[in-house]
Amino acid sequence: ATPTSIMAGSGRAAQAGILFKQSAILERTQAVDTIVFDKTGTLTEGKPKLTDFVRVGEALPQAELAQLIAAVEKQSEHPLAQAIVAGLEDYQQESTPTVKVSAFNAHQGKGVSATVSSGEQEKQLVIGNLRLMQEQTITVDDAAQQGFSRLQQEGKTVMAIAVKGELQAYVAVADTLRESARPALQALRQRGLKLIMLTGDNSRTANAIAKQLGLDEAIAEVLPEDKAEHVKKLQQQGHNVAMVGDGVNDAPALAVADIGIAMGTGTDVAIETADIALMRADLNSLVQAIRMSELTLKNIR
């Protein structure tokens, strides 16, 4: 490989907003046969919005319930939490007594729980996916399960809300697919690449999105710490894997992958760990990166 042709390749790439950390990466990208994508913030814009707030219990008035949920989610840094807090503002009444939140607990990849108190009343709130409900022995009846599935089939993320151990409501949050996702993935597939999505979200939501995008596979309900394991498994099967992600919890998987690719809009940790950074947060530049790597090698040979 002549250094000059590689340099020329990375210079062109930089102009297109594609940063190869080392020139050798441009060469190595050629060998990739599988691309693993994180969902939220990578295939989607990562700006989820509340779309549904469905009550299934009568234990407390809607406005109060909305206030309690928002109070708990304010303690969470998760993008889902921010969407819930913003979306529930519409349901709250203005002059309500303040709520105190204690014993806040973030259950990684599952949800949150806390004790809320307004006045002398103390209530335990659990907000999260069905796995968390199961762990906390909260019953989700058939009707609620059906409501859940319906929203998940629309590609929405659904979270249940239990107060004092009983299901009271569920909320759905939707994130917009990046405009570039569908055309970029189609182009990658045409190049014969195997395309896989990894997500902490449930499988129904994951499959709905995988279908919209034409992904080969969606691996759902992956706990943050297990993302890297999935990449390793693919490598053990003989695949040369590129991982594309944006979050702090993607960093270990980006490091393990043969090529780690970070969205330029992502967290600093992801960008620092990656071999390639896509500064335009446009998935078409991923296609361009792969094309450039091929062209560069052709010029060398």
CA angle 154, 159, 163 (to 5 degrees): 150
Stretch that binds ligand ADP, among 76-84, 91-99, 118-126, 183-191 (CB under 6 A): 76-84
- Residues in CB range of 217: below 8 A, 6 or more apart: 194, 195, 196, 197, 210
Strand partners, 61: none
Q: For Mg ion, which residue of 6, 10, 38, 83 counts as binding (CB under 5 A)?
A: 38
Site string for ligand ADP, 107-146 (x = CB under 6 A): --xxxx--------------xxx-----------------
Question: Applying CB under 6 A, does 40 fall inside the site for ligand ADP?
Answer: yes
CA distances from 165 to 107, 170, 277 (A): 16, 14, 45
Of 33, 38, 175, 201, the active-site residue reads 38
Min separation Cβ 74 and ligand ADP, Å: 10
Min separation Cβ 181 and ligand ADP, Å: 15
Burial label for 38, CB within 10 Å (0-12, 13-18, 19+), is buried
User: Smaller CB distance to Mg ion: residue 5 or 199?
Assistant: 199
Question: Applying CB under 6 A, does 199 fall inside the site for ligand ADP?
Answer: yes
DSSP 8-state secondary structure symbol assigned to residue 249: G
Residue 287 interacts with, from Mg ion, ligand ADP, none (CB under 5-8 Å by kind): none
Min separation Cβ 201 and ligand ADP, Å: 4
Detail the DSSP E strand segments found in 15-165. 18-20, 34-38, 49-55, 100-107, 111-118, 121-128, 157-163
User: Smaller CB distance to ligand ADP: residue 111 or 264?
Assistant: 111
**Residue numbers 195-254 binding Mg ion by CB under 5 A:** 246-247
Stretch that binds ligand ADP, among 12-20, 71-79, 211-219, 290-298 (CB under 6 A): 71-79
Burial label for 146, CB within 10 Å (0-12, 13-18, 19+), is exposed
Contact 262, 245 (CB under 8 A): yes
Residue whose structure tokens are 């889902």: 80
Question: Applying CB under 5 A, does 282 fall inside the site for Mg ion?
Answer: no
Strand partners, 222: none
Contact 248, 192 (CB under 8 A): no
Question: Applying CB under 5 A, does 264 fall inside the site for Mg ion?
Answer: no
Neighbours of 115 (CB within 10 A): 15
Stretch that binds ligand ADP, among 28-36, 56-64, 77-85, 141-149 (CB under 6 A): 77-85
Please give the residue whose beta carbon sits closest to Mg ion in the complex.
Answer: 41
User: Smaller CB distance to Mg ion: residue 71 or 276?
Assistant: 276
- Residue 38 designated active-site: yes
Per CB under 6 A, residues contacting ligand ADP are 39-40, 73, 76, 78, 80-81, 109-112, 127-129, 157, 159, 199-201, 224
Active-site residues, by number, are 38
